[in-house]
Amino acid sequence: MAQWARPAIRALRLWGPGGELAWARRPRFAGARPPTCLSAGVASVFGNGGDRTQELFLQDVAELIRAKACQRVVVMVGAGISTPSGIPDFRSPGTGFYSSFQHCDVPYPEAIFELTFFLHNPRPFFTWAKKMYPGNYRPNVIHYFLRLLQDKGLLLRLYTQNIDGLERAAGIPDSRLVEAHGSFASATCTVCGRAAPVEGFWAEVMGDRVPRCAVCTGVVKPDIVFFGEALPQRFLLHVVDFPSADLLLILGTSLQVEPFASLSEAVRSSVPRVFMNQEAAGSLAWRPRSRDVLQLGELVDSVDKLVELLGWTEELKDLVQRETGQLSGRDR
């Protein structure tokens, strides 16, 4: 993960008028809703004659989707969508992956994702990687909600910070996916730069061996973005995706990692932003917009609520049953 991947405290100070103090001064994010100006298109959906003081709620967003007023949905997701699959959040005290390295030969938890430390001692990273073996974790209802968006032709692009591959496992096609921090789907030699076969990589990792290049014996690293590394080329799609989006869904991310976090500001100001997370965070907390909808609390509950408002509950249930049945079948 690159230098941008540091917690975006610096960005908060730079961007927030008054920085963190400005954030603290915004009491309306304790639960109250900011006022909203609906666009002409939105007003026509609700038939309110253009009441520009009407607030936007989750139900309104569901109506916009149902009325096909939003058909180019960009989604940003983080670790929070994977915790219901049993993958602990990296940074959760006591339960996160970082905590599990406190007793290993690691100077500080983040070091396992730093190239310098990795080249010095790759074993802690591969110990962690072993836990992420494809198939160890399954997509959950949130991943399948995103799949449903795709199946209905509403998903313009899904930007994920997760490297667990559960979006792919849920059936989101590569063309709709931007794995902003890379994935385990490919691997590269850290010395000669040759692509290494993923099957061989996993065979070594599962056997508790450090995978090495068949050509130069250099350590092979999955194409996960470490601190100090460049983001995948596909991340550049944001330049066209966000300005053309008509709805932004942000799920399960505290928006702490740059430049990913800043994407939340890249949609047009008229575009509704729906933020579902345990707590308010990032620019939606310290620089809110009039069309923001904050749905705070348990993420699965929030997604369930939106699905219900959309009238997709049965359809989603069927999809989950069908897909989890297929995944189980592949294991046999």
- Applying CB under 5 A, the residues found at the interface with Zn ion are 189, 191-192, 213, 215-216, 218
Question: Residue 138: how many CA atoms within 13 Å on its side-chain side?
Answer: 12
Residue 89 annotated as part of some ligand binding site? yes
CA distance 12 to 256: 10
Q: Measured from the CB atom, is 164 or 229 closer to Zn ion? A: 229
Residue 67 annotated as part of some ligand binding site? no
Q: How far is CA 165 from CA 35, 50, 185, 271, in A?
A: 38, 43, 8, 28
CB of 216 to Zn ion, least distance (A): 3
Q: How would DSSP label each residue in 221-276?
A: EEEE--BTPPPPGGGGGHHHHHHH-SEEEEES----BTTGGGGGG-S-TTS-EEEE
CA distance 308 to 83: 22
CA distance 253 to 80: 6
Q: Measured from the CB atom, is 18 or 193 closer to Zn ion? A: 193
Cα distance between the two ends of the chain:
36
Residue 104 annotated as part of some ligand binding site? no
Residue 48 annotated as part of some ligand binding site? no
Query: Which residues is 296 bridged to in the sheet?
Result: 277
Q: Measured from the CB atom, is 192 or 210 closer to Zn ion? A: 192
Contact between residue 129 and residue 205 where contact means Cβ atoms under 8 Å apart: yes
Q: Per the residue annotation, which of 103, 120, 181, 238 is the catalytic one?
A: 181
CA distance 202 to 186: 11
Residue 90 annotated as part of some ligand binding site? yes
CA distance 300 to 290: 25
Residue 161 annotated as part of some ligand binding site? yes
Residue with tokens 């809703």: 33
Q: How would DSSP label each residue in 12-29?
A: HHHHSTTHHHHHHT-GGG
CB of 176 to Zn ion, least distance (A): 32
Q: Measured from the CB atom, is 169 or 187 closer to Zn ion? A: 187
Q: Which two tokens stand for residue 306?
A: 């939106």
Residue 167 annotated as part of some ligand binding site? no
Contact between residue 264 and residue 11 where contact means Cβ atoms under 8 Å apart: no
Known active-site residue 143: no
What amino acid positions are annotated as catalytic residues?
A: 181
Residues annotated in the binding site, as ranges?
A: 79-83, 89-91, 161-164, 189, 192, 213, 216, 253-254, 277-279
